[in-house]
Chain A
């Protein structure tokens, strides 16, 4: 017993001693580095490190006339809410960060938000679409549009440009991102005069969707909406094609990753999805980021990376505008952001933590994501 007590005390002392004190601006990042959406965590990390390199190459962030180097402290939240809560506590109280970027999944952002709010530390979540994340919170922001906007955009596109009379949906019932958009789509598509003929679900980590797809095939929809992540979508489209389904496919911003084409190949041709931005649109901010990201990591930008990158610069912009590292001043500057020229579009915060920004529809053509139309 003595030994174990000694061991525990030694461990506790070590935990207490390791709080390090650096100079400069510290920004915390909570990301799913391991766990079931580790691929998104990788993109987050890439974008953050690229931004850190760029900012420090210019001498740092200009705060009140002096340049200060920035350090990002990236912590792994394992895509588990309780781990995210621990990460937020550590970043705020141990590392004394000025603000937090994160997390990607809504469930982790939701676990962190009350902590950031109580501590008065600004939080920007790149890609948490759940409306509750920012609801009734002053210090919590996001860089993406929320489900209602995107679901409506896609439903309008399916009814309008694709002239679909009937639609079916297949989505991950265990994930709030997928379920949120699926339900908005169902309502909006019906409201626009269309008919939903299939509304099927699967569970995260399923790889075989043939049962659901066979059922949908029986209902013969004009279009199949797949509001799911890029690692599932190619399997769904491939399996649907192999079952002999002839309908069109449409998706949401979860599709935005080159893996979609790498895995899906020819089967993805002619599909559409809504996204935050398009590499085709001639915007200097997008072009520059896409080029430097490709150069540094030898891979293409995805939605997670682009939104993270925008979150970082939204924050840096607010810090420079605030002129001091006071968290309340940063929060006020962030909330007052107008016409910020980001990678994923022009961003304005209008009182709440949800940005006002447009969406684009992307077409997959010859193995590339091609701009189709803009939705505002």
Chain B
């Protein structure tokens, strides 16, 4: 009994780490320019496929080189998307931007489907993936442990970046009051481009780990993107630690619903609980109250 319970908590931690990898990048863009970036899940997918293609094209490429390279390429694509599809709408009503993001997402999904093919792929495992056996038959694999550790350290790095560096301070300032920031002589375009670059690079790293631990396919970003959006909102809009907490909470509710209630009603019960949570804390767990409506 206890062993199963511990195993399920570990399972929840794994799943939560995956959600967190996406939600972190999501919440950065979301926090800075308030864009519900429906394309973020697809950038996550794209990052995974770039990693997959790099391994396929350059055999023997070490993982230590492949991940930064894929992150760089995806960051460039992220910046390009912002430049081409989002920048012009930055001062338009918010929902126009949401629809543009949806369009970009559908475009990316079908681009990858046509170029790489619709099948699900696994990135050949280059990370250690031995099974670690703990007491009483409780197990965890090394790659999943790694995913947990990586998403937690990314959270710390991101937190330091946003809260302690000049660029990060500028980002927070943009989130608070874009016009005032521009009056102070800050280059708004640079700040927003940086946000997209960092968010997309994080997504790429996430996609690659995901593609090794699970599998990637062109349409996987849709569901994961929604989950990340939910995690980010539950954690509190724009809050980095909130995104991580929201991710682990969402995963925890999902896994525990399966484990102790019913896997049939997983989505129903999980969302029911999350709705109740939002009704108790209408601004998310780490969110600030009195949100200005857009």
Contact = CB atoms under 8 A, between A and B. Distances in A.
B120 A259 contact: yes
B12 A211 contact: yes
A214 B140 CA distance: 12
A49 to B, nearest CB: 16
A336 to B, nearest CB: 37
Nearest to A203: B267
A208 B122 CA distance: 14
Interface residues of B, number: 39
A267 to B, nearest CB: 12
Interface string B118-134: 11111000000001010
A285 interface: no
Interface in B179-214: 210, 214
A36 B263 CA distance: 22
Contacts of B264: 173, 201
B14 interface: yes
A337 interface: no
Interface in B231-273: 254-255, 258-259, 263-264, 266-267
B263 A201 contact: yes
A34 B255 CA distance: 31
Contacts of B131: 242, 244
Given A210-B11, A242-B141, A42 B4 contact: no
A35 to B, nearest CB: 7
A214 B8 contact: yes
A31 B67 CA distance: 36
Contacts of B223: 205
B267 A211 contact: no
Given A212-B258, A214-B11, A41 B139 contact: no
A317 interface: no
Contact of A211 (B8, B110, B122, B217): B8
Interface in A300-346: none
Contact of B263 (A200, A205, A207, A242): A200
B120 A231 contact: yes
Contacts of B109: 34
A39 B4 contact: no
B7 A39 contact: no
Interface in A232-267: 234-235, 242-244, 259, 263
A205 B119 contact: no
A38 interface: yes
B258 A208 contact: no
A78 to B, nearest CB: 10
A218 interface: yes
Contacts of B12: 211
B11 A207 contact: no
Contacts of B133: 244
A163 interface: no
21 contacts: A34-B113, A38-B113, A38-B218, A39-B118, A39-B119, A42-B119, A173-B263, A200-B263, A202-B266, A205-B222, A207-B210, A208-B214, A210-B255, A215-B258, A231-B217, A234-B122, A243-B7, A244-B131, A244-B137, A259-B120, A263-B121
Given A42-B118, A244-B131, 17 more contacts: A36-B219, A205-B220, A208-B15, A210-B11, A210-B255, A211-B8, A211-B11, A211-B254, A211-B255, A211-B259, A214-B11, A215-B8, A231-B120, A234-B215, A235-B215, A243-B7, A263-B122
Closest 7 CB pairs of A and B: A38-B118, A231-B120, A207-B214, A210-B11, A211-B258, A211-B255, A205-B223
